[in-house]
Structure 1
Amino acid sequence: WNQVKIPLLLSNPPSPLFPSTMERFTESVASMVEGIGSNEKIHLGYVAAIYAVSIIIVSHVNTRRSLGSPSPLPPLSWNYVRACHYSLMIPLIVGSLLLDQFWPSNVYLVAFKAMANSYAIGSLDYIFSQTRKASALACAGGSLLWLSSSFMVQMYLLRNVFGGDASMVRQTSYTPWAFALEWLRTGHYLSLAGIFTDLVFSPMHRLTHHPLIYKRLHKGHHATTTQLSGLELWRGHALDDIIMAATIIVGFSATMVICTRLGLGYAFNPLSNTAWYIYQVYLPYSHASDSRLAALIAPMPEALNFAAYHHVHHQDPSKNYGLTLPSDLLWDTLLGARTIVMPSEFAKRKGG
């Protein structure tokens, strides 16, 4: 199907993304604000609406729980929960694609819409969870910190380190085959990205669990180990959100370049806007209330499915520091540690 390149900006491009002085940074921000046209306002309105509705829902759930009700819903079957997630996930992705189709945007707004969708999915999972009072505004702020940190680092690496193109492809065909292709593209990308990301993320993550650092920085991210929700991804210290996102995106950016040069992606980016929306919706499932949610989008082997693999770490913080099995095998060997528990094995232990 036809490939349409999504530019970094549609009009009035700003100064370089990483200016060397505060003056140039101010000029860059001013140029971006001046470049906001009618199309951009529509996309920003979508982002604002998704965040507003999600924050209201999470706040309502918190109010109910503060009155003694652990959940606003009675116990529900897995089939019902799964259907609810698909019922929200699909309209969010399709709606974002329609906005891109009829009101062409830029890469920045694609990223913002993707994160708004991700926050909405996390909020839905929060409804089904038994988690106590995750701050709606704090988690929303954490998601934006996560987005800004990862996106800025990604743009810098692609432009200045890996020599890649930071642009993106916009899907223009909406046939079942086209969507299947993007789903497969997302799957192979996530598998490779998890491995390469762990080369940086796993040792850094182990360091944040050092007693001197953990209690000052990372402890808030592990506020609960028995009752998780999709919002846990952004629940913690602001600096922790920035560091985690920045280290994860290093491997993702490297994977982009490798996929492209191996012919596994497009000419300038292995991901289309569709694949990016799918990937971002997948993120909250690494901390979901039900580990089975990790397989809704990416039914990959558990050793490479970082949402399922990392989910174990949030139930037992001494296990699975990395995102994939290969990385933890490497770092466990180098450090003489034994921290690996496969998700299926952990589920059996928990059930027993």
Structure 2
Amino acid sequence: MCRTAETFPLSLYRSTVLFGDDQALYVFGRSEKYYAIERAEKSQHPTFTRLVDLTWMNSDNEPTAAIVAGDDVYFGYPVGVFRLPKTGGDVHQISQQAAFAFAATATHLYVGGPGGISRMTLPDGPFEPFLDFSAGHLAIRGNDLYVAKSTYPPITPVDIVHVDLTTKIATLIGTTIRVTGLAPLDDGVIWSSGMFYSAPDVYGEHRLLRWTKSPAKTSVLFQNSYSPVTGVATNGSNIYFTNGYYWSFEQNANALVMLHLGPADDARAVPLATALQQRTQLTPSPAEGRIIVEHMSWPVVDDHFVYWLDEVEPESVNGNPELVQGRTNVRRIAIK
């Protein structure tokens, strides 16, 4: 099947999170010197408009996570958890805990951060402690909660844990250097491992891993030599993941890639789309201090499309690094 990737522009230059529900997509990112959230109805031609300007969020403290739960959008910041109606309105701070990750069921919101995992009864119940270990990523399917713990510095191995929501029994299922996404399955979870670069050292892995409950095992589904795997999503039939770039290219660098989800762990990777801005070499190289730009990230899949963020490297305005032009796009490709 020939499928064409569509592009939908944003007025954001660096996007932190792409998320949504059945009706709309949301992007949480930076616009000039502050942060903002943009929204688009899922339609034949989505048009993103500004949902809220967060002028009090400066460039020194980046947002961390966001989610739609019930009728509201929840987003995190180092100083707390905030809520606003998903179609727009006033922003309210509802917790002072730092939030690195969110997950939700029909009845509860789970918030993970360096101090542990809290739970709130939706829509406006109090926060209460739930688990006493840190969380950098969260995902829920049924009665299963999956946690990628939060660690620092980046070279520190990250534990991935399965938690039974009823008993709170936690089981270690894997260890990875830098997790970039969790995608829950009926029989387990998939996670992507990316890379953090800090000259002159490179930390992390470039892999896609899967844990199954029965039989209980962890396996590697895919591995890049250079390009970091920047996020993963699944619809139960296929896995969709994105790659950023490194100083060297390979077949699946800068691409949205599909794997068929089956019993075998050796499925063939099929690139579906490539980045808007293609490069064959970066100058200077990372060893000379070049920061990695994750061009393609945050895949999100529904019954019809897989969406992702595609960033073109930002350019400063009049030489001022604090003022940048909007360079981020949401893209999508049909999956049926």
TM-score, normalising length: structure 1: 0.23
Higher relative contact order (CA 8 A, sep 6+): 1
- Which of the two has higher C-alpha Rg? 1
Q: Which has the higher strand share?
A: 2
